């Protein structure tokens, strides 16, 4: 990334065939402020057919903030984010997905928290909005939301997902490319990047003084998707150890996975048979455990990129 706007903010919005969600995301950004800092919004359209182009270009003509549309035809979440970062000029990179809505003072809170704690990464809560009515809805909200640590504001030890976050490029050294191309279809590219950044010794900050919403699509608010997504999440720590050639780490996480699966699988079966709403919680925990064990080879689910274009993914 070159030609940075000193102290400017680039808001990255990757999108893939979600016109309603993109509209909600962009409209919510129009109410954001960054004090005296310049703001630009970069929409990275990852649909090979460039389906968002007409809407974004029309929206940009009357928008109070500068909006850049870029077309990234090669499917993959890493491809979209990398292209947006290459075009970005801001020192600060704020990420908002096309199924999210920025709440009041979202950007301002991220920026002031980052400045206060000299944080390379900053996060606020994400509140999931679940479609329809289901006995499992309370558990779906817990599963898809990011409530974070039990504090209003401060430094934390762990990072969270890329959507709804702020990165300070002055405090972080980004790899090239920032998001791994190996994870275009599987996801987890943000965990890998943030893990590398965390290893640089940067501060990670959290604030609950602002938030964003995330709209969960109907096909994701299902036990089948929760199981697959949890399995993929469970693979993360073991795969990270493998990437670092940490044999002891691989063994550790596989053992944790065995214990986790043994503890939660019976509960998942029992709660399903008895119709308990807590089935989703135990299903997710059991799937995470199996993911920690089956982290290798062809077990990794394909949830994004070309698999989505070809309708082979969830």
Structural tokens at position 79 = 């491809």
DSSP letter for 174, please: P
Number of neighbours of residue 300 by Cβ within 10 angstroms:
19
Residue-level pLDDT at 188: 78
Residue-level pLDDT at 267: 98
pLDDT, one tens digit per residue, over 7-21 is 799 999 999 999 999
- 228: nearest Cα among 304, 302, 138: 302
Element housing 193 (H / E): helix 189-198
Residue-level pLDDT at 191: 86
User: Residue 149: exposed, middle, or buried by beta-carbon count in 10 A (0-12, 13-18, 19+)?
Assistant: middle
Residue-level pLDDT at 214: 97
pLDDT, one tens digit per residue, over 27-70 is 999 999 999 999 999 999 999 999 999 999 999 999 999 999 99
Structural tokens at position 272 = 């399903």
Interhelix angle 279-293/247-273, rounded to 10 degrees, is 150
Residue-level pLDDT at 4: 62
Full set of structural domains in the chain with CATH? 5-215 (3.90.550.10), 223-309 (no CATH)
Question: Half-sphere exposure of residue 202, counting CA atoms within 13 Å on the CB side?
Answer: 27
Read off the pTM: 0.89
b/e code 152-177 from CB counts within 10 Å (16+ = b): ebeebeebbbbbbbbbbbebbeeeeb
Number of neighbours of residue 201 by Cβ within 10 angstroms:
8
**Regions of the chain short of the pLDDT cut 70:** 1-6, 303-314
Helix/strand/coil for 127 = strand
Between the CA atoms of 162, 165, 170 and 175, what dihedral angle is there, to the nearest 10 degrees? Answer: 0
40 - beta bridge partners?
Answer: 10, 66
Residue-level pLDDT at 185: 77
In the numeric block, the tokens 């290798």 are attached to 296
- The Cα 213–Cα 211 span in angstroms is 7
* N-to-C CA span, the chain: 33
């Amino acid at each position: 990334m070159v030609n940075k706007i000193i102290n400017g903010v680039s808001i990255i919005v990757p999108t893939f065939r979600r016109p309603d969600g993109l509209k909600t995301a962009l409209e919510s950004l129009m109410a954001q402020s960054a004090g005296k800092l310049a703001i630009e919004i970069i929409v990275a359209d990852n649909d090979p057919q460039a389906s968002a182009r007409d809407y974004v270009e029309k929206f940009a003509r009357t928008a109070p903030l500068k909006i850049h549309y870029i077309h990234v035809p090669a499917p993959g979440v890493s491809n979209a984010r990398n292209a947006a970062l290459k075009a970005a000029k801001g020192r600060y990179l704020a990420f908002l997905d096309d199924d999210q809505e920025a709440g009041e003072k979202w950007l301002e809170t991220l920026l002031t928290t980052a400045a206060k704690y000299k944080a390379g990464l900053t996060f606020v809560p994400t509140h999931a909005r679940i479609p329809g009515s289901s006995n499992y809805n309370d558990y779906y909200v817990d599963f898809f939301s990011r409530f974070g640590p039990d504090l209003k504001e401060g430094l934390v030890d762990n990072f969270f997902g890329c959507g709804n976050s702020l990165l300070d490029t002055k405090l972080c050294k980004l790899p090239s490319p920032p998001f791994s191309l190996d994870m275009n279809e599987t996801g987890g590219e943000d965990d890998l990047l943030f893990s590398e950044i965390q290893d640089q010794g940067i501060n990670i900050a959290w604030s609950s003084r602002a938030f964003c919403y995330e709209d969960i699509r109907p096909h994701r608010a299902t036990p089948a998707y929760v199981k697959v997504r949890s399995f993929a999440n469970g693979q993360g720590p073991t795969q990270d150890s493998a990437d670092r050639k940490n044999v002891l780490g691989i063994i550790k996480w596989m053992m944790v996975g065995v214990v986790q699966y043994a503890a939660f699988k019976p509960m998942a079966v029992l709660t399903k048979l008895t119709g308990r709403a807590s089935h989703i919680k135990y299903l997710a925990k059991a799937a995470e455990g199996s993911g920690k064990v089956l982290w290798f080879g062809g077990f990794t689910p394909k949830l994004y990129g070309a698999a989505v274009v070809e309708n082979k993914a969830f």
